[in-house]
Amino acid sequence: MAIFGSAGRMGQAIVLAIERALADHAGGIDIGGDAGALAAISDVIVDFSSPLALGAHLTAAREARTPIVIGTTGLDAAHHALIDEVASEIAVIQAANTSLGINLLAALIEQATARLGPDWDIEVLEMHHRYKVDAPSGTALLLGAAAANGRGKSLPELSRFDRDGPRDEGSIGFASLRGGSVAGDHMVILATEGERIELGHRAEDRGIFARGAVKAALWLADKPPGRYTMADVLGL
């Protein structure tokens, strides 16, 4: 198992997770490393690098025919189009969050919103450390997309990031908080007249993302070409 983005905090956590899973660590690269050479000697790659490096990393994985788990966040439409293209040749998992708990939570949210009507308002609340750049977080968007899927809609159709005045019926609102050293808190609130459901997850250690990524990589290593999800890893 190789790590692209090995010098970062997540890269270091993945090294420990690989050891605990009794898997073999093929090595890691960071800025300036030879992605092609490492991909060629690996059975599977875990990428927690940066959006700027992802294109080169996908090319290296495709040329080596090596499956890849992408945990890098902040991706745009062009990145996703490239992932779709590469997934026609190798197995790929792209996840905004590799925590097993978060991905189970997303499934629960989709089930809940599929059974509740538009009179149930949906709010997604997230908090992260003061240094996080993107807002809302990729995980908040993942949970919002799960809520939208439950209603048979896409997230762009229902999402509201800036509001003034009363909410639109059926919309999905987002709120982002930043401060301290919070690894990641997420809550989806379903509220209607007289009652409220709160479905949430609290990350206490970044190791949960590393363990989920390693579990996903072990699952993906022998899969045929295609674009897979963490829900596939969990059998959801």
- By annotation, the residues acting in catalysis are 128, 132
Q: Is there a contact between 150 and 109 (Cβ–Cβ < 8 Å)?
A: yes
What is the distance, to the nearest Å, from the Cα of residue 38 to the centroid of all Cα atoms in its chain? 24
* 3-state secondary structure (DSSP) of residue 209: helix
Name the burial class of residue 191, with classes exposed (0-12), middle (13-18) and buried (19+) by CB atoms within 10 angstroms of its CB. middle
Could you tell me the sign of the dihedral formed by the alpha carbons of 165, 166, 168, 174, in that order?
positive
* Token digits of residue 10: 């997540």
* Distance, CA of 91 to CA of 157 (rounded, Å): 30
* Distance, CA of 179 to CA of 201 (rounded, Å): 17
* 3-state secondary structure (DSSP) of residue 227: strand
